[in-house]
Chains A and B, each alone.
Chain A
């Protein structure tokens, strides 16, 4: 892949790159710095990219690697959480779409932010960017089965948080396990 092809890719996916980095580091300015640094590294190592159709996941993988290099502590915390966590069975209740989009929208954001980075990254790559599990596995550099497990755990944890919040605030009366 030539420099210009990589540049064209980065320009055409600038919003996706920034969004991904923003979800990693949590602020818009830091996200732009992270993408720029990742892009520079991608330019230097573009010969390693064998499959051009996988260029975007490859670029995202580099951005995430950089983030983890800068935040080793976060990575270790996530690994500990993941090792300890067992997939819980979330309650089933009467959460409604309108409720999720209005009353609980802030709680969704809070619950997302509270997830381990690896769970949140896998979930957002799926929900927001629409990547397949196989592509996500490439980006986060883990087996496909781990991606499937992380996404499920992230969703389970979100549902638990939302049901708990709804029950505490008298919104979700019908939750059951």
Chain B
């Protein structure tokens, strides 16, 4: 075999030749000093290019800007929807079953994840005082979002999450170093026992009605513990 062209040697070091082509090149390399030397240079060049291509890591501020991009877009979308729908209440009623769809739950779990991926707090209201947070939600929802005051958890802040054309309030807590999120899904009849599902995008999701509101609790606790934590949080609201 005559010497392979430079392009073939280049593709060979990348493992991008077919098995047949690669076997032919390897066989040739065994008996050709010139091509072996060229191949070694290509391999060394790979390392040199990698060394020369170091750039500063993405800052936390950069990640926060990406997150803000999503939130700004959602707000703009919600505003457009709000302006365009004269019969918003009727539409909201029609969309209520969406709350129970897997996609909506997955989106909300994504919002929980969004509160954990940056060092900065992506909240609309930042406060450890439940009264402050409850007041912030006044007039924004057609029901009262009551904020539990659980111990040992510490309230970090809250925000409104847009999923589809609905908004869901989220309160975020730090509980013994773990981030947990409490959503309100809407009004519900009375109170009830909690139910949990494990492995929703890697988190445990529990739901329970209390004081006429259906709550959803997202955490990385195993289901029995998550259910107990949620029940404790909501007990004071009854």
Q: Are both chains from one complex?
A: yes
| A17 close to B6 (CB less than 8 A) | no
- CA–CA, A124 and B54, complex, Å: 11
| B38 close to A92 (CB less than 8 A) | yes
Stretch of A65-73, A74-82, A126-134 contacting B (4+ beta carbons < 8 Å): A126-134
| A100 close to B55 (CB less than 8 A) | no
- CA–CA, A109 and B51, complex, Å: 9
Residue of A nearest to B11 (CB): A148
**Chain B 72-106 near chain A by CB (<8 Å), digits 1 or 0:** 01100000000000000000000000000001001
B174: Cβ under 8 A from any A Cβ: no
Chain B residues with a Cβ closer than 8 Å to the other chain, count: 46
Contact A87 B7, CB 8 Å, known A7-B70, A96-B44: yes
Most buried by B among A100, A104, A133: A100
- Selected from B38, B49, B56, B63, the residue in CB contact (under 8 A) with A112 is B49
Q: Which residues of A have CB within 8 Å of B127?
A: none
A173: Cβ under 8 A from any B Cβ: no
B-side residues, CB < 8 A to A, are 5-7, 10-11, 14, 16, 34, 37-38, 41-42, 44-53, 55-59, 62-63, 65-67, 69-70, 73-74, 103, 106-107, 109-111, 113-114, 117-118
A-side residues, CB < 8 A to B, are 2-5, 7-8, 10-12, 14-15, 17-19, 22-23, 28, 31-32, 35-36, 39-40, 43-44, 87, 89-90, 92-93, 95-97, 100-101, 104-105, 108-109, 112, 123-124, 126-128, 132-133, 148-149, 151-152, 155-156, 158-159, 162
